[in-house]
C-alpha cells in the first residue's frame, strides 16, 4: 500500500462500514488521499457549499428581484433549448412559484430562431403595456447578447444575465450578470453549469428574502434541496467537470431524484427502464439527456419544460413518451447525417489534420451530436456546419480532453460572424465563402494547443482486478460512492485477463452488441458489450484475452442488478 496509508486506522463511512483498501487505493491513484479529503469526496455535504454572495453581482441581482416581488412586477425567464437551459429555466420557474410569484418563460425555437436572447423574439413577446421595472432573467445564455440586452432596456426590462459561457471582452449592458467566469468574480468555482448558476441565484434570492423578513413564517421558506434533481440532470448533461461544487450538487441531485418527487423526471426514468432509486451519471448522459435534448433539437423545447413542470403523473407519462418518440426521430436524422459526414471526411485527400470540419446540408438540430460522433470516431476536435441559406453556415463543435474549444474559436474569430461556448462544446456561424479559411485557422488553433502531436485516445486502466473479485456487494456499493462520473472524475476502467465466459450471444439491431455471462462460481455475472458484436467469433475461439470493463446497473422488470459493461476486448495470439 502506498504512503496514503500513513496511519493504519480504517476510514469509517457514514453507514458504519469501513472503506475497503482497494477503493482507498483507487482514490489515492486519482489524487484523493487523507481522511478528511476522502470523506468530503465520497460524502460531500450541502452545508459546505460557498455563499452565493461570493458571486459577482449577486447583491444587485437579488435586490432587483426583491423589488419586483414587492411591487408585483412581472418576471420573464429566457432560457436555452438544451438540457442545461431547460432544467435551469424550470428550476427558476419552480422556485419563484414556491415564493408566490408566477414567473413566465420563453425558450427560443432552435430551428427557426437559434440560440440565446434575441431582439426580434423580445419584441414579439413584449406587450404594449407599461413594462417599466419588469424583470428579464436569462438562463444559460445572454453573456454575449449586447444588442438584445440594449433592446430589453428600451422595452422597459431590468435584465439579469445568468450564464456560464466564457464572457466576451466587453461586458453586456445588463443590470446584473451572474457568471463565475467573469474575470473579477471571486466565486471559487468557475465550472458551474448554467443550471448551477440558476440554483445559486435562487439560493441568493432565498437567503436575501429571509434576511429582509420577506417571509411571514418559517414554513414559507422554500427548501431548495428539492430542486437539486434538475441541477443534477442539467449539470451532467452539459459535460462540465464533475468536481468541487458540481460534484456536491450532482450527488445531492441524485439523492433527490431517488425520492421521485418530480413527476416528469420520474416518468422519463420509468419509461426508459431506469431505476430512479439508483441513477448513475451514465444513465443521465446516455439515456435521460438525449431524450430531453431531442425536444429542442426538433424545435419543440417546450415539451421538455412541460415535462419538468408537470403536476400530474398521467400527464408526465404522456410527455415522457412523446420525448422518447422525438428521440427516435432524432436518431434516424443523426444516422443519416453521420453517414454523410463520414463520407465527407473519408473523401478528404489530406487526412493528416488535427481537426475534423464538415459542411453541407446537415440538420442544425443534430449538428452537436454528429460532431460528438466524429470526435469518437476520429479522436479529433470536430465541427459540423449546416447550410442555413443566404450564404451562411451555422454549426456546432465538440472537443477532446485537453483542448480548449473556446480558445480555438477565439483564434478563428476574424472569419466568424459569431461564436460562443466553453472548453468542450461550442457553436459558431460564418459566411460560406470563408469556409476554407476557417478550416485552416481552426486546424492551426488545435495544432497550437496539441503541439501537433497525434491525439489517440486510449482507455486508461485504473486497476487490474478480476470481475468475480470486484463484483462483491460491499465493493460495488463503495465504488458507487465515487459517482458522479464525468470530466475530472472519469468512469473507472478495470482489466481482467482471466475471466471465463460461460455464454455469449450477439444482440440488438444488426447484432452489433454482445450479451455475456461470466463465471462466478455458483452464480453468473451478467455482462454487456456495446458495439463489440464483431468480436463474437474471436471470443469463442480465443481464450487468451484481456477484458476491459466497468460495473454498471441493469434494471429489468422492477429488479436492479449489477452487470459488467465491457468497453473493449483484446486478444493475444499464441
What DSSP string runs through 334-369? Answer: HHHHHHHHHHHHHT-S----SSEEEEES--GGGHHH
Q: Residue 401: exposed, middle, or buried by beta-carbon count in 10 A (0-12, 13-18, 19+)?
A: exposed
353 domain residue, yes or no: yes
**Do residues 436 and 477 both lie within one domain?**
no
517 near 504, Cβ under 8 Å? yes
Nearest 10 degrees: CA dihedral of 218, 221, 225, 227?
150
Shared-domain flag, residues 141 and 178: yes
Coil vs helix vs strand at 421: strand
Q: Which residue has the higher pLDDT, 459 or 408?
A: 408
Q: Which domain holds residue 140?
A: 52-225
Do the domain assignments include residue 434?
yes
Q: Are residues 90 and 220 in the same domain?
A: yes
Judged against a pLDDT cut of 90, whether residue 366 lies above it is answered with no
Question: Does residue 234 form part of some domain?
Answer: no
- For range 67-90, the mean pLDDT: 95
Same domain assignment for residues 61 and 167: yes
487 and 445 share one domain: no
Residues 132 and 176 in one domain: yes
- pLDDT category at 455 given cuts 50, 70, 90 is low
pTM of the predicted structure, to 2 decimals? 0.85
Same domain, yes or no, for 57 and 197? yes
- What is the rounded average pLDDT for all residues in the chain? 90
Q: Phi and psi (nearest 5°) for 76?
A: -115, 130
Strands 545-556 and 559-571, bridge-based pairing: antiparallel
Tell whether 100 and 214 lie within a shared domain. Answer: yes
Confidence check: pLDDT of 574 > 50:
no
The pLDDT, as a whole number, for residue 70 is 93
**d(C-alpha 290, C-alpha 573), whole Å:** 40
Q: How far apart are CA 83 and CA 377, in angstroms?
A: 24
Euclidean distance between CA atoms 562 and 194, whole angstroms: 33
Contact status, residue 316 vs residue 332, Cβ threshold 8 Å = no
Stretch among 34-48, 440-454, 538-552 having the lowest mean pLDDT: 440-454
Q: What is the pLDDT of residues 185-213, one digit of tens each?
A: 999 999 999 999 999 999 999 999 999 99
pLDDT of amino acid 115:
83
Q: Which segment of 229-233, 531-535, 556-560 scores lowest on mean pLDDT?
A: 556-560
Q: Report residue 452's pLDDT band, with 50, 70 and 90 as the boundaries.
A: low
Domain assignment present for 43: no
Domain stops at, among 225, 242, 258? 225
Q: Which of 382, 415, 450 lies at the terminal end of a domain, its last residue?
A: 450
- Same-domain status, 544 and 516: yes
**DSSP structural state of residue 190:** -
Residues 6+ apart with CB under 8 A from 143: 161, 163, 165, 166, 167, 168, 172, 177, 179, 420
Q: Decide which of 225, 243, 259 is a domain's last residue.
A: 225
Alpha-carbon distance values, 386 to 366, 389, 396 (Å): 10, 9, 9
How far, in Å, CA of 292 to CA of 270, rounded? 14
Question: According to the model, what pLDDT value does residue 8 have?
Answer: 65
Judged by DSSP in three states, 17 sits in: coil
Report whether the peptide linkage leading into residue 546 is cis, meaning its omega lies within 30 degrees of zero.
no
Decide if 291 is inside a domain. Answer: no
Flag whether 341 is in a domain: no
397, 521: one domain = no
Q: What CATH number corresponds to the domain at position 366? A: 3.10.310.30
User: Quick check: is 10 in a domain?
Assistant: no
Q: Tell me, what's the pLDDT at 6?
A: 43
Residue 47 belongs to some domain of the structure: no
CA distance 447 to 431: 24
Number of independent structural domains in the chain: 3
Q: Do residues 472 and 434 both lie within one domain?
A: no
Q: What is the mean pLDDT of residues 511-517?
A: 92
Rounded Cα gap, residues 506 and 514, in angstroms: 4
State residue 560's pLDDT score: 84
Cross-strand bridge partners of residue 426: 397, 421
Any idea which of 117-131, 178-192, 294-308, 357-371 has the lowest mean pLDDT?
A: 117-131
Rounded Cα distance between 11 and 36, Å, is: 10
> Which CATH number fits the domain that encloses residue 166?
3.90.1640.30
Is residue 20 pLDDT above 50, yes or no?
yes
CATH number at residue 520: 2.40.50.460
**Is there a single domain that holds both residue 199 and residue 84?**
yes
The pLDDT, as a whole number, for residue 235 is: 97
Amino acid at each position: 500500500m502506498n504512503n496514503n496509508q500513513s496511519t493504519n486506522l480504517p476510514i469509517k463511512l457514514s453507514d458504519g462500514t469501513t472503506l475497503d483498501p482497494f477503493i482507498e487505493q483507487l482514490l489515492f491513484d486519482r489524487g484523493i488521499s487523507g481522511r478528511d479529503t476522502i470523506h468530503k469526496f465520497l460524502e460531500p455535504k450541502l452545508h459546505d457549499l460557498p455563499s452565493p454572495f461570493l458571486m459577482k453581482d449577486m447583491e444587485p441581482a437579488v435586490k432587483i428581484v426583491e423589488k419586483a416581488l414587492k411591487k408585483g412586477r412581472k418576471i420573464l425567464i429566457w432560457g436555452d433549448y438544451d438540457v442545461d437551459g431547460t432544467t435551469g429555466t424550470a428550476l427558476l420557474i419552480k422556485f419563484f412559484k414556491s415564493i408566490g410569484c408566477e414567473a413566465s418563460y420563453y425558450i427560443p425555437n432552435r430551428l427557426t430562431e437559434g440560440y440565446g436572447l434575441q431582439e426580434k423574439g423580445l419584441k414579439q413577446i413584449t406587450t404594449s403595456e407599461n413594462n417599466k421595472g419588469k424583470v428579464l432573467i436569462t438562463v444559460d445564455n445572454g453573456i454575449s447578447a449586447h444588442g438584445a440586452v440594449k433592446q430589453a432596456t428600451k422595452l422597459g426590462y431590468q435584465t439579469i444575465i445568468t450564464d456560464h459561457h466564457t464572457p466576451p471582452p466587453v461586458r453586456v449592458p445588463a443590470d446584473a450578470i451572474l457568471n463565475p467566469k467573469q474575470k473579477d468574480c471571486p466565486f471559487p468555482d468557475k465550472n458551474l453549469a448554467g443550471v448551477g448558476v440558476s440554483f445559486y441565484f435562487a439560493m441568493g434570492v432565498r437567503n436575501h428574502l429571509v434576511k429582509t423578513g420577506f417571509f411571514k413564517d418559517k414554513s414559507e421558506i422554500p427548501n431548495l434541496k428539492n430542486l437539486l434533481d434538475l441541477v443534477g440532470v442539467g449539470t451532467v448533461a452539459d459535460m462540465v467537470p464533475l468536481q468541487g461544487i458540481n460534484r456536491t450538487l450532482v450527488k445531492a441531485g441524485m439523492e433527490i431524484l431517488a425520492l421521485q418527487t418530480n413527476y416528469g423526471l420520474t416518468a422519463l426514468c420509468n419509461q426508459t427502464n431506469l431505476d430512479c432509486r439508483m441513477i448513475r451519471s451514465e444513465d443521465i448522459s446516455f439515456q435521460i439527456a438525449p431524450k430531453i435534448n431531442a425536444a429542442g433539437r426538433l424545435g419543440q423545447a417546450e415539451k421538455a419544460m412541460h415535462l419538468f413542470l408537470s403536476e400530474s403523473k398521467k400527464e408526465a407519462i404522456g410527455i415522457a413518451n412523446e420525448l422518447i418518440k422525438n428521440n427516435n426521430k432524432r436518431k434516424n436524422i443523426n444516422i443519416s447525417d453521420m453517414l454523410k459526414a463520414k463520407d465527407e471526411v473519408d473523401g478528404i485527400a489530406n487526412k493528416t489534420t488535427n481537426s475534423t470540419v464538415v459542411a453541407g446540408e446537415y440538420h442544425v438540430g443534430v449538428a452537436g451530436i454528429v460532431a460528438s460522433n466524429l470526435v469518437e470516431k476520429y479522436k479529433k476536435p470536430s465541427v459540423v456546419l449546416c447550410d442555413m441559406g443566404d450564404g451562411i453556415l451555422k454549426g456546432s463543435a465538440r472537443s477532446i480532453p485537453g483542448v480548449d474549444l473556446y480558445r480555438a474559436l477565439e483564434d478563428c474569430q476574424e472569419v466568424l460572424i459569431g461564436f460562443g461556448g466553453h472548453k468542450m462544446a461550442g457553436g459558431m456561424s460564418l459566411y460560406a465563402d470563408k469556409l476554407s479559411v476557417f478550416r485552416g485557422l481552426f486546424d492551426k488553433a488545435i495544432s497550437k494547443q496539441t503541439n501537433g502531436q497525434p491525439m489517440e485516445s486510449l482507455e486508461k486502466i485504473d486497476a487490474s482486478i478480476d470481475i468475480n473479485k470486484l463484483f462483491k456487494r460491499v465493493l460495488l456499493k463503495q465504488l458507487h460512492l465515487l459517482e458522479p462520473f464525468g470530466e475530472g472524475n472519469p468512469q473507472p476502467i478495470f482489466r481482467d485477463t482471466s475471466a471465463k465466459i460461460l455464454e455469449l450471444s450477439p444482440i440488438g439491431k444488426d447484432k452489433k452488441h454482445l450479451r455475456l455471462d461470466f463465471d462466478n462460481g455458483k452464480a453468473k455475472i451478467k455482462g454487456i458489450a456495446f458495439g463489440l458484436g464483431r468480436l463474437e467469433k474471436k471470443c469463442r475461439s480465443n481464450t487468451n484475452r484481456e477484458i476491459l470493463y466497468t460495473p454498471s446497473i441493469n434494471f429489468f422488470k422492477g429488479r436492479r442488478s449489477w452487470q459488467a459493461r465491457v468497453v473493449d476486448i483484446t486478444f493475444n495470439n499464441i
